[in-house]
């Protein structure tokens, strides 16, 4: 599969997930889990489902809090977690929920203006090469790798919570 074909497939999957996922800010774990599962089922590439931090113009937008210790507690996960998740393939960053959160009512005007200086407000999701994002002042720092089993937990919870449109 060529790089161009990979990007086309990722865009198709990203579009499918974003159209069928309720517009909820803070849904990065669920949307990333769905994407990594879809990619693993349909593409022969090595995906990474990660959590970490995100900085824009050297301002921390999302800090990192490990999710694994919370997952092992077997109780309400997301209300206790403050972090960010995305999918990586080679040097590609795929972030399906970023703009939902950044341009929601919960985000500060300062954060919104940092993103408006770099992206169009109507953008649905981010698919970009890591080095090009860094050149734009957008830096993803992966700090925790999640497993396929972790992704399954988030997908099942998204279904139970009614986040996926039927």
Residue pLDDT tens, the chain, 166 long = 898 999 999 999 999 999 999 988 888 999 999 999 999 999 999 999 999 999 999 989 988 888 887 776 554 455 567 789 999 999 999 999 999 988 888 888 888 999 999 998 888 999 999 999 999 999 999 999 999 999 998 999 888 888 888 6
- β strands within 39-132, DSSP E: 47-56, 59-62, 84-89, 92-95, 126-129
Q: What is the C-alpha separation between 96 and 120, in angstroms, rounded?
A: 15
pTM of the predicted model, to two decimals? 0.91
Would you kindly state where each structural domain of the chain is located, as residue ranges? 3-156
Token reading at 106: 């919960």
Q: Are 164 and 158 within 8 A, CB to CB?
A: yes
- Residue 12, pLDDT score: 96
Quickly list H helices, 20-164: 28-42, 68-71, 98-102, 109-116, 130-135, 148-160
């Amino acid at each position: 599969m060529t790089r161009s074909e990979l990007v086309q497939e990722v865009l198709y999957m990203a579009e499918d997930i974003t159209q069928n996922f309720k517009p909820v800010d803070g849904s990065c774990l669920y949307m990333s889990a769905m994407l990594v599962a879809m990619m693993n089922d349909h593409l022969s590439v090595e995906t990474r489902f990660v959590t970490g931090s995100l900085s824009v113009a050297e301002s921390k937008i999302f800090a990192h809090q490990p999710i694994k210790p919370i997952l092992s507690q077997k109780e309400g996960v997301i209300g206790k977690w403050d972090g960010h998740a995305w999918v990586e393939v080679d040097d590609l960053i795929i972030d399906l929920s970023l703009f939902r959160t950044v341009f929601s009512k919960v985000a500060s005007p300062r954060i919104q203006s940092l993103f408006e200086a770099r992206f169009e407000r109507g953008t649905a999701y981010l698919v970009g090469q890591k080095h090009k994002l860094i050149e734009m002042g957008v830096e993803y720092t992966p700090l925790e790798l999640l497993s396929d089993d972790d992704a399954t937990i988030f997908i099942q919870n998204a279904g139970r919570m009614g986040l996926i449109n039927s």
